[in-house]
Amino acid sequence: MGRIPSTVAPHKRGVNIGSLTCAQCNRADECADHILSDCSYVTTTREWIFRWCGLQNVAADTKSIRGLLDFASSWGSCPKKRKVLTLIFYAMLWLVLKARNDKVFNHKSISPTLVADNIKSLVFVWVKHRWRKKELK
């Protein structure tokens, strides 16, 4: 929906904010799709999560936010597994954005592998405490 705060958004409105380069990879302009799905930092995290989920040779377009969520919502034949995969991807988007904000605002770098570990922990806590027991069977 284009509501992720990035350096490109205010620049399009005429605000001079200096460099438009991504804080994580320093290779491309920082738009929402780059921050959450195309940055090399995110690609490394996504690869860790794909391996954890047992997803190999993913041919879908997962280099955009919409492509990633469309892949999760149409993956496999089990609705419960699709729901869990979607949950994992939402956790990934949330924690990647949080890691980016920590780097930009707190000057604190977090490795992509640590973000992947945090995603696993967060998803476990969400599933354990927020889902009704009968939904997971």
For the chain, domain boundaries: 8-136
User: What is each CA distance from 58 to 5, 92, 104, 124, 126, in whole angstroms?
Assistant: 28, 17, 31, 23, 25
Could you tell me the pLDDT band of residue 114, with boundaries at 50, 70 and 90? very high
**pTM, whole model, 2 decimals?**
0.80
What gap in Å lies between CA 39 and CA 108, rounded to an integer?
18
What is the rounded average pLDDT of the residues 7-13?
65
pLDDT tens, position by position, 43-91 = 899 889 989 988 887 766 777 788 888 888 888 888 888 888 899 999 9
